[in-house]
Amino acid sequence: MKFTKMEGIGNDYIYVDGIHQNINMTPSFISHISDRHFGIGSDGMIVILPSQKYDFRMRMFNRDGSEGKMCGNGIRCFAKFVYDHQLTDQTYLEIETLAELKKSG
């Protein structure tokens, strides 16, 4: 699994491109890699996915593997990740989350 660890105002997440690779999103896997003593260490994992309605879909998982609706600090890094990894050249994005549409730009 290729990943990037990013931090935004105190929240650090493992970011993975779920468009170009299959990602294990089970709670046990996420809690294992998020473990600060035995894994990568993070507040959780954020997966970049395609969206049928918007530019991208964001799935955000907490350190225990539970899925959260959204993270403001996380979505800023999400936008930087998709731009830096050339998944888009847009500077304004509409991102699908469990908390509905979020706009970044």
CA distance 61 to 46: 6
Q: What is the pLDDT of residue 45?
A: 97
Q: Which of 71, 75, 82, 93 is catalytic?
A: 71
CA distance 35 to 49: 23
Catalytic site includes residue 77: no
pLDDT digits (tens, 9 = 90+) for 67-96: 999 998 899 999 999 999 999 999 899 999
Report domain 4-104's class: alpha beta
pLDDT digits (tens, 9 = 90+) for 8-29: 888 899 999 999 999 999 999 9
E strand intervals along 32-86 = 44-49, 56-62, 67-68
Per DSSP, 37 falls in state T
Domain map (residue ranges) of the chain:
4-104
